[in-house]
Structure 1
Amino acid sequence: MPDLLWDEVKNFFNPDLMGALPDVFVPDTSVADWQTLFDLVQARNWKWQYCEGSTELPLPSAAVVFARPADAEVAELRIWPKPGVLAIYRMMSADEIDFDVDLRELQGQPGVDALCSLLAEIGRELGKPVKMTPEGGSQAYPVLGFEPALDRVVTLADPSFD
């Protein structure tokens, strides 16, 4: 049984309502949590690309990424947990893992399942909640997320808004 059903959450996957790139985040993280994410990406054999600015590089340790000077170019990790599904992580702070997904890639029940799978894998590995808000929205008002105590992705807001 899927965590969420398309017919019940399709508004949360509507780019016109949520923005094409909603914000997904794991609050209260550390360099060790980022390293756990890097290890997860490699253990699952997800396709990935790491760049600093426009330069593609091998994936360093999280400690190396966050030891770079404050004025260094932005470090970005792109992962494809499934073909056609991209998550973009920008390593701005060790205190929060945040990333974007493209809702245009996540349509129908297969898209819902792909997002739920990604959020659950990250949340389980970290033992932390993973939440999604509308693009540019306040983190105080997530619409859905992985809840570790329930071991599943749940809605955190009313999906029936118009």
Structure 2
Amino acid sequence: MADLLWDDVKCFLDPDLVGSLPDLRVPEATVEDWQAVLDLVVEKGWRHQYSEGETVLPMPRAEAVLARPTDAACPELRVRPTAEMLAIFRFHAADEIDFDVDLRELQGQERLDVLCGFLGEIGRRLGKPVLMDPEGDHGHPGLGFDVGADRVVILAAPQVG
């Protein structure tokens, strides 16, 4: 059974309402949580590419990435859990795992199920919520993985366009 039904949440995944690149995050993260996500990517065999600026590099340890000087180019990890979905992780801070997905890739029930599965994998591995805020609207999640419910749930009233 699906975590969510498309008709119930399509407003939260409408690029015109929430932006095409919503902000996904795991708050109150640690370096160990970041490493657990990197390990998960490798264990699941998800296609991925790590880069610093324009330079593609092998996947590093989280503590090495997060210890980089603040004026260095922000490292980026591009992950494809499926061919249809790209998640881009940015290593801004150790205390919050930050990534984006492109909502234009995630239209319809089948793609929603892929997103929910991906958020669930991360949330279960960390034992923490994974929240999705509208683009640029940090702190106001509409959807997210709820650890207690063990699934992705609606966290806010639906938006209307």
- Matched-pair contact (CA < 8 Å) for 2:12–2:159: no
What does residue 18 of structure 2 align with? 18
Partner of 1:146: 145
Superposed CA deviations along residues 57-83 of structure 1, whole A, max 9, x for unmatched, are 000100111122221111000000011
Identify if the C-alpha distance between structure 1 residues 65 and 11 changes in structure 2 by more than 3 Å, giving closer, same or farther. Answer: same
Aligned AA for 1:15? P
Match of 2:53 in 1: 53
SS state at 2:144 partner: strand
Map residues 6-155 of structure 1 onto 2, 5 A cutoff: 6-139=6-139, 141-155=140-154
Shift of 1:159: 2.2
Counterpart Cα distance in 2 of 1:7 and 1:66:
39
Give the letter aligned to residue 42 of structure 2.
Answer: Q
Residue 51 of structure 2: SS of its match in structure 1?
strand
Q: Distance in 2 between matches of 1:160 and 1:65?
A: 37
Structure 1 position 21, deviation (Å): 0.2
Matched AA of 1:147: D
The DSSP-based 3-state class of the residue aligned with 2:68 is: coil
Indicate the percent of aligned positions where both proteins have the same amino acid. 58
Q: Unpaired runs of 5+ in structure 2?
A: none
Cα distance in structure 1, aligned partners of 2:19 and 2:94: 25
Which residue of the partner structure matches residue 156 of structure 2? 157
Give the structure-2-normalised TM-score. 0.97
Q: Letter of the aligned partner of 1:144 in structure 2? A: L
- Give the total of aligned pairs: 161
Q: Normalising by structure 1, report the TM-score.
A: 0.97
In structure 2, distance between residues paired with 1:33 and 1:22 = 21
CA contact (8 A) 2:23 2:138 kept: no
Amino acid at match of 1:148: V
Structure 1 counterpart of 2:144, one-letter code: G
- Deviations along 1:80-120, one digit per CA (max 9) or x if unpaired, are 00112000011010010010000000000011101101110
Tell me, in whole angstroms, the C-alpha distance in 1 between the residues paired with 2:38 and 2:159: 36
Deviation at 1:52, TM superposition (A): 0.4
Post-superposition offset of 1:154: 0.3
Q: Partner amino acid for 1:153?
A: V
Deviation, 1:123, is: 0.2
Secondary structure of the 1:91 match is: strand
